Amino acid sequence: MPGKPFQSKLLPHKEFIRESRAQGMGYREIAAELRRRFGLRTAPANVFSFVKVRARRRPVFSLPPRENAAASPACPAPTTPRSPTRRPTAPTNWLNYDPAKPLEKLPS
Amino acid sequence: MTKPSKLIVFSCGGKGGVGKTTVATAIVDYYATRGIAATLFDCDTENKQRGSLSHFFPEAEKLDIRAERGLDHFVDIALATDAPVALADLAAGSGRDTFQWFDTMFDGLATSGVRFTAVATITSSASSVETLFTWANALKNRARYLVVKNQIAGDDFGYFEDTGPGRDFLAKADPKVIELKARAREIQTELDNRGLTAAQAVVADAARRGPLLNGGTARVRAESYARQIDTALDSAREILLP
């Protein structure tokens, strides 16, 4: 008799994980937040897998670039352009402020 | 049916010890003096008992915004009351939780007639100013800003006024900027210890004030502190009144 189908314990926190990723949080940080906020112990890799399997745009797996283009002349490179990879939108820097740099006083 | 109008005033919880709670208590006094009802939230759950908003105003609800849906809970209570103002004293380091929540909830709340005023207390130290820029970068012009220049550590606010992000902030956010004049340390410490704001100390009975604050000059100073910050806050009434 098959048991109960597997369901991720992260599922109730899907929205939290979605928003955290949109904010640019790393998987390690999200795992730590899940533990702190909800008492849910999980490894960063689990969060990664959870996001990966649900990602709408999955990365296209490809072979590494040819070492020598002349090695296989019978097979020309495809001419159809590949769709650009979607990158997460960077948060707008409203004040041109970089927290990583010390504040510099300007001449008055 | 008219939309409920609610003003949510909150401290930008960044660097500790810059006077966030002192300013928050002064704002509560400001509302009380003018007969404006305000729901109070003490979200600084890590602050020691004597330094927190609820030490000065026991009616303030202690609330941990870092708990699951803590900020939702805060707004639910704020919206459920008749008071036109809700004031929250946020803990140091509560930025990330607030920013994320703000991004999700702002549009819906703004449509419901909720407005936000962020209160940033800065000193002459760069780190307190960095806190303000971090918050402003996240909240952008979705909140109005009250910047309180606390002169506790001097009156050079060059990191705020004379830096690129500072000038950007002044131009884009159009904040109200006021000063909290330096206070005699021993008097401020005694006020904090007794859970009294400057305004409360003026009218409190002798037993509550204690020997130090009962002294003639101390009372005059307390009165002067109360008047100074009240006048300063009144100059920002546009973003403090509901």
Lowest mean pLDDT of A87-96, B162-171, B186-195, name the range. A87-96
Place of tokens 């760069």: B126
Whole-angstrom distance, CA of residue B59 vs CA of residue A92: 39
**pLDDT of B136 strictly over 90:** yes
pLDDT score for A58: 57
Average pLDDT over residues B1-28: 83
Residue A81's contacts (CB-CB under 8 Å, 6 or more residues apart) are none
Place of tokens 């002798």: B206
Instruction: Determine whether the interchain pair A99/B134 forms a contact, defined as Cβ–Cβ distance below 8 Å.
Output: yes
Tell me the three state secondary structure of residue B189. helix
Task: Give contacts of B172 with chain A, Cβ < 8 Å.
Answer: 94-95
The burial of B136, by beta-carbon neighbours within 10 Å (0-12 exposed, 13-18 middle, 19 or more buried), is given as: buried
Instruction: Determine whether the interchain pair A36/B66 forms a contact, defined as Cβ–Cβ distance below 8 Å.
Output: yes
Confidence of residue B198 (pLDDT cuts 50, 70, 90): very high
Instruction: Kindly identify which residue of chain B lies nearest to residue A34, measuring between CA atoms.
Output: B68
> Is this complex scored with an ipTM above 0.90?
no
Instruction: Determine whether the interchain pair B168/A95 forms a contact, defined as Cβ–Cβ distance below 8 Å.
Output: yes
Q: What whole-number percentage of chain A has pLDDT above 70?
A: 63
Instruction: Determine whether the interchain pair B168/A97 forms a contact, defined as Cβ–Cβ distance below 8 Å.
Output: yes
Q: Which tens digits make up the pLDDT trace of B98-118?
A: 888 888 888 888 888 899 999
Task: Give contacts of A92 with chain B, Cβ < 8 Å.
Answer: 140
Average pLDDT over residues B210-235: 92
Q: Bigger pLDDT: B140 or B68?
A: B140
In angstroms, what CA-CA distances link B129 with B10, B141, B150? Answer: 17, 18, 11
Q: Which tens digits make up the pLDDT trace of B73-85?
A: 888 888 888 899 9
Q: Which tens digits make up the pLDDT trace of B24-34?
A: 999 999 999 99
- Number of CB pairs, chain A paired with chain B, less than 8 A apart: 60
**pLDDT of A81 strictly over 60:** no
Instruction: Determine whether the interchain pair B164/A99 forms a contact, defined as Cβ–Cβ distance below 8 Å.
Output: no
Question: Which of B129, B138, B162 shows the shortest C-beta gap to A108?
Answer: B162
A39 reaches B (C-beta below 8 A): no
Whole-angstrom distance, CA of residue B169 vs CA of residue A55: 37
Tell me the three state secondary structure of residue B43. strand
Q: Bigger pLDDT: A73 or A7?
A: A7
Q: Which tens digits make up the pLDDT trace of A30-80?
A: 888 888 888 888 888 888 888 888 876 655 555 666 655 454 555 455 454
A101 reaches B (C-beta below 8 A): no
Q: Select the residue from A23, A97, A98, A106 to test the B interface by mutation, using most B Cβ atoms within 10 A.
A: A97
Give me Rg for the CA atoms of chain B.
Answer: 17
Q: Bigger pLDDT: B64 or B172?
A: B172
Residue B186's contacts (CB-CB under 8 Å, 6 or more residues apart) are B212
pLDDT score for A66: 62
Lowest mean pLDDT of A91-95, A96-100, B16-20, B164-168, name the range. A91-95
How far away is chain B from the Cα of A49, in angstroms, using its nearest Cα? Answer: 23
Task: Give contacts of B99 with chain A, Cβ < 8 Å.
Answer: 23
How far away is chain B from the Cα of A25, in angstroms, using its nearest Cα? Answer: 10
Question: Which of A23, A97, A102 shows the shortest C-beta gap to B137?
Answer: A97
Instruction: Kindly identify which residue of chain A lies nearest to residue B126, measuring between CA atoms.
Output: A103
pLDDT score for B170: 95
Show the DSSP H helices in B45-163 as ranges.
53-56, 70-80, 95-111, 126-139, 158-161
pLDDT score for A61: 56
